[in-house]
Amino acid sequence: MKEIIFSKDRYKMNWLRTDYPYAKADCPKELKCSVKNQKDGDIFHTSIQFTNQSRNPFFTSLDDIGIYFPLEDRYESSEICIPYRCHTHIFCGGNVSYIMALRMG
């Protein structure tokens, strides 16, 4: 996915940064990673699944898995930030995580 632009956005803001890949996942070689993106109108759903490919339990530490969601949470001039940037909150817990991104202006 290269862009998220909402159909009724008068500024046509792309919520994704173009200098990083969206939903890229890094993980140890013992794990298989699959990424699915779905779009239904202005609703976007990304699902990332990790599968242990071995017969043994596999435990990860804090640095073993990386997931990239490059949203436009950057701070430049107010002329750019208010219409074209967002403020992002990320929640990771249990077996569910979510991102809440709100336009700065």
d(CA 90, CA 53): 28
pTM of the full structure? 0.81
Instruction: Check if the beta carbon of residue 71 is closer than 8 Å to that of residue 37.
Output: no
pLDDT 10s digits, 9-33: 999 999 999 999 999 999 999 999 9
Instruction: Check whether 72 has a pLDDT greater than 90.
Output: yes
Confidence label for 80 from pLDDT (cuts 50, 70 and 90): very high
Quote the Cα angle for 12-19-24, to 5°.
Answer: 100
Q: pLDDT grade, residue 56 (50/70/90)?
A: very high
Mean pLDDT of 68-92: 94
